[in-house]
Amino acid sequence: MKRGDAPLFGLRDRIERQVHGLVGFGEGRVELDSPRGDPGLFGPGSAAWRVHADFTAMLIGGIAALFLQMLHPGALAGVWDHSDFRRDMAKRLRGTAQFISGTTFGPSTEAERLIARVRMIHDHVQGRLPDGTPYSANDPALLTFVHVAEVSSFLAAHLRYREPLMPLPEQDRYLREYAVVAERLGAEDVPKTKREVDGYLAAIRPALRVDARTREVAGALLAEPAPSALLGPLREVAMEAGIDLLPRWAARMHGLDLSEPRRLGVRAGVSGVGRVARWALRDGSAMRARRRVSA
């Protein structure tokens, strides 16, 4: 490293540390380094590793998934009744990021531990909707919706920002692979191809709603501040890119549909932010998993 490069590499380290803090990486809640040689549920040749490897695309997909999930009355009620979303929406993002990271890139025992932990949490997430209808986080149909909202958003982000020409059979392979996690959580009739996912979302649209509670939860997500000034540009670009990634009907339900010029600007912004993130992040989940498997 040349003497003049020191400030640049210091910035690189700061970005990496702050991104890790954003998603809770390094908190000790997810084991990625051992046992050596364990490929986990999927392994390095899987489509799941391929789709989930890029931090920026996954962050954008995760934001889109949250907006999509809160349109379901049951999913919204779970957030409303059983989380402190008004004060710490970032905590929900961290929890989702850690679960996806651990079940995708962790060793088999860690993936199973995380799945069991979520199932235990779901045992306590239940109640009644405003109209009196009971809901439960263990409802297989609700679990399927939450899963489809996530994988459809992650795949859409990967196709837009990392691999636009990913063949359809590989997209289907990704959906088949990660359906295993949804099924182990208790989901049933999980769509496992792109065509099935598209059909599922079209069929469930009449059951989705926006009301005052939806708007408040969406407002909390939109108002969640960047964790630092350094990550401010990432936060701004990722939030708008998540909105841009939504199906147009979902964005219109939220009243967040972007103009075409704004969409183009957001996508250009993601390109720049993504390059910086990939430059800075040298020790992410996928990298640690590859070292574990090759050891």
pLDDT tens string 98-134: 999 999 999 999 999 999 999 999 999 999 999 999 9
H helix or E strand, kind and range, residue 288? helix 285-294
Q: What is the pLDDT along the chain (295 residues), one digit of tens a residue?
A: 444 455 655 887 888 888 777 676 655 578 888 899 999 999 999 999 999 999 999 999 999 999 999 999 999 999 999 988 777 777 777 888 899 999 999 999 999 999 999 999 999 999 999 999 999 999 999 999 999 999 999 999 999 999 999 999 999 999 999 999 999 999 999 999 999 999 999 999 999 999 999 999 999 999 988 878 878 888 899 999 999 999 999 999 999 989 999 999 999 999 999 998 888 888 889 998 999 999 7
* Residue 174 DSSP label: H
- Structure confidence at residue 4 (pLDDT): 47
Rg (CA), the chain: 19
- Structure confidence at residue 8 (pLDDT): 58
pLDDT tens string 39-61: 999 999 999 999 999 999 999 99
Question: Cα–Cα distance between 17 and 14 in angstroms, integer?
Answer: 5
In the numeric block, the tokens 């600007």 are attached to: 265
- Structure confidence at residue 3 (pLDDT): 43
DSSP E strand boundaries for the chain: 126-128, 134-136
pTM value is 0.93
Question: Cα–Cα distance between 20 and 25 in angstroms, integer?
Answer: 5
Q: Are strands 126-128 and 134-136 parallel, antiparallel or unpaired?
A: antiparallel
Sign of the dihedral through C-alpha 224, 284, 2, 276: negative
- Structure confidence at residue 277 (pLDDT): 87
- Structure confidence at residue 184 (pLDDT): 98
Question: Cα–Cα distance between 67 and 214 in angstroms, integer?
Answer: 9
